[in-house]
Amino acid sequence: MIKAFLIKYGEIAIKGKNRYVFENYLVQQIKIKLKKQGEFVTKKEQGRIFVEAVSDFDYEEVLKELKKVFGIVSICPVSVLDDFDFEAIKKLAINHIEQEYEEKNFTFKVYARRANKNYPLNSMEIAKEIGSLLLEEYKELKVDVKQPQEKIMVELRNKVYIYSKEVRGLGGMPIGSAGKAMLLLSGGIDSPVAGWMIAKRGVALDAVYYHSHPYTSERAKQKVIDLAKQLGEYTGRINLHVVPFTDIQLYIYETCPHEELTIIMRRVMMQMAETIAKNNKGLALVTGESLGQVASQTIQSLTTTNAVCQLPVFRPLIALDKQEIVNISEKIGTYETSILPYEDCCTIFVAKHPVTKPNLKSIEKSERKLEKIDVLIQESLDQTEVIKI
């Protein structure tokens, strides 16, 4: 039975003297991900990461969890041996083929590496001996040194490792290696995808959701909690800040020109998200905006929104069209929840003809009428509920 996995990474390998920092983040994320799957030893060794089971585990579940860890390019199920006796290594090779292949009628090539250059056989001799053994044992196997269907890898390090299959991982960078940001999470399709994409670059996430009860329902709030949980499958722990937004939204509606409601409301949201981010060591904001998708996502609107922010605003979806965003949403498992027909605060009090090319001076002039806004913002922040996902 396979008891170990070789973890391959991509970009981390070119990080030079800082590589160990990123490797440490990846090892930490793997440990967190496998915590509920059994006992495992996860260790770095000469540019590789090995995960070895020391208790029983569900092979498919472990593979499923590793496939959700950013930073892993591929996962190789590995047969492991402590004994360097070559007869034992040959038995391990036979056992590996028996376990990994139901049909043994493929072409193959054996590749060998040895860390100990004093081993009695060199790499070429190891590959030749194992290849001959497999041909003798399985009559339907054939060698193809140019385009083999299967590459049988034999590595002699501090243990003997044999592997031949690679399961594709997500790639990217390990969570936490690029700092932490605050995601503006609605109940729609876009913002969970934006969170997933920026997390793939190594950014840890917290999230903020604006709740306008009773105009938005408890089912709408639960929908966002469910989306945060689905996103958390990839990002790990998320602190979801549920901000009561009704009084602020009504105040803006009653005080400002209706065609400017969306952009003013958006600026207040960004301002509040930034305050929460700074209080929780967040270094940036993340939104699900896609250029030109709606009135608040034109270049002029985004420029006006940005003017209220001090932190950088990441918009991973800015150049994607809706179908591309939907495709990612389906891939990461948030789509079916996102399309549940519950309203969010952005879909209520919407002007019939919202301004699409807002003028910053005009918006700021309207905002000066909001004399009580600072008090309302502080009251709302004080009443914010934090849900640990």
- 304-332 pLDDT per residue, tens: 999 999 999 999 999 999 999 999 999 99
Query: With contact defined as beta carbons under 8 Å apart, do 270 and 309 qualify?
Result: yes
The range of the structural domain enclosing residue 207 comes to: 180-388
Q: Residue 271 domain-assigned?
A: yes
Whether residue 271 is found in the same domain as residue 306: yes
Query: With contact defined as beta carbons under 8 Å apart, do 272 and 381 qualify?
Result: yes
Dist CA 237 CA 260 (whole Å): 36
Whether residue 228 is found in the same domain as residue 370: yes
Determine the pLDDT at residue 293. Answer: 87
pLDDT over 90 (residue 46) = no
Q: Residue 120 domain-assigned?
A: yes
Residue 361 belongs to a domain with what CATH number? 3.40.50.620
Determine the pLDDT at residue 16. Answer: 85
Q: Where a domain ends, among 116, 145, 168? A: 168
Whether residue 228 is found in the same domain as residue 150: no
pLDDT over 90 (residue 13) = no
| Most confident of the following: 11-20, 92-101, 343-352 | 92-101
Tokens matching residue 261: 């409601």
pLDDT over 90 (residue 344) = no
Number of domains the chain contains? 2
Whether residue 6 is found in the same domain as residue 151: yes
Whether residue 72 is found in the same domain as residue 119: yes
Whether residue 133 is found in the same domain as residue 197: no
What are the binding residues? 184-185, 209-210, 266, 288, 297
Q: Residue 174 domain-assigned?
A: no
Share of the chain above pLDDT 90, in %: 85
Contacts of 130 (CB under 8 A, 6+ apart): 89, 90, 93, 110, 112, 152, 154
Determine the pLDDT at residue 133. Answer: 96
Contacts of 27 (CB under 8 A, 6+ apart): 42, 43, 44, 49
Q: In Å, how far are 63, 300, 367 from 272, measured between CA atoms?
A: 40, 21, 15
Determine the pLDDT at residue 14. Answer: 87
Tell which phi-psi region holds residue 165, choosing left (phi > 0), alpha (psi between -120 and 50) or beta. beta
Q: State the chain's mean pLDDT as an integer.
A: 94
- In the chain, count H helices and then E strands: 13, 15
Residue 16 belongs to a domain with what CATH number? 3.30.2130.30
- 107-151 pLDDT per residue, tens: 999 999 998 888 999 999 999 999 999 999 999 999 999 999 999
Contacts of 119 (CB under 8 A, 6+ apart): 84, 156
Q: Residue 136 domain-assigned?
A: yes
Q: Residue 175 domain-assigned?
A: no
Q: Residue 99 domain-assigned?
A: yes
Determine the pLDDT at residue 288. Answer: 96
pTM strictly above 0.85 = yes
Dist CA 349 CA 250 (whole Å): 8
Dist CA 279 CA 281 (whole Å): 6
Determine the pLDDT at residue 213. Answer: 87
* Alpha helices in the chain, H assignment, sequence order: 19-34, 59-66, 86-100, 123-137, 190-199, 218-235, 246-255, 261-279, 299-306, 322-332, 335-338, 360-367, 373-382
Dist CA 275 CA 278 (whole Å): 5
Determine the pLDDT at residue 135. Answer: 96
Determine the pLDDT at residue 325. Answer: 97
Share of the chain above pLDDT 70, in %: 98
Q: Where a domain ends, among 136, 168, 200? A: 168
Q: Is the dihedral of CA 185, 186, 187, 189 positive or negative?
A: negative
pLDDT over 70 (residue 345) = no
- 187-245 pLDDT per residue, tens: 899 999 999 999 999 999 999 999 988 888 889 999 999 999 999 999 999 999 999 99
- What single string gives the DSSP state of each residue in 20-72? HHHHHHHHHHHHHHHTTT--EEEEEETTEEEEEESS---HHHHHHHHTT-TTE
- Exposed (0-12), middle (13-18) or buried (19+): which is 28, by Cβ within 10 Å? middle
Q: 261-279 vs 299-306: helix axis angle to the nearest 10?
A: 40
Dist CA 361 CA 367 (whole Å): 10
Q: CB neighbours (10 Å) of residue 354?
A: 17
Q: Residue 173 domain-assigned?
A: no
Among 72, 76, 157, which residue's Cα sits nearest to residue 114? 157
Whether residue 235 is found in the same domain as residue 300: yes
pLDDT over 70 (residue 347) = no
What are the binding residues for ATP? 184-185, 209-210, 266, 288, 297
Whether residue 22 is found in the same domain as residue 89: yes
Query: With contact defined as beta carbons under 8 Å apart, do 205 and 181 qualify?
Result: yes
pLDDT over 70 (residue 370) = yes
Q: In Å, how far are 72, 169, 245, 312 from 9, measured between CA atoms?
A: 5, 9, 43, 28
Report cis status (omega within 30 of 0) of the bond before 214. yes
Whether residue 126 is found in the same domain as residue 191: no
Whether residue 201 is found in the same domain as residue 347: yes
Average pLDDT over residues 81-91: 94
Whether residue 89 is found in the same domain as residue 229: no
Whether residue 184 is found in the same domain as residue 288: yes
Q: Residue 69 domain-assigned?
A: yes
Q: Where a domain ends, among 134, 168, 202? A: 168
Determine the pLDDT at residue 3. Answer: 85
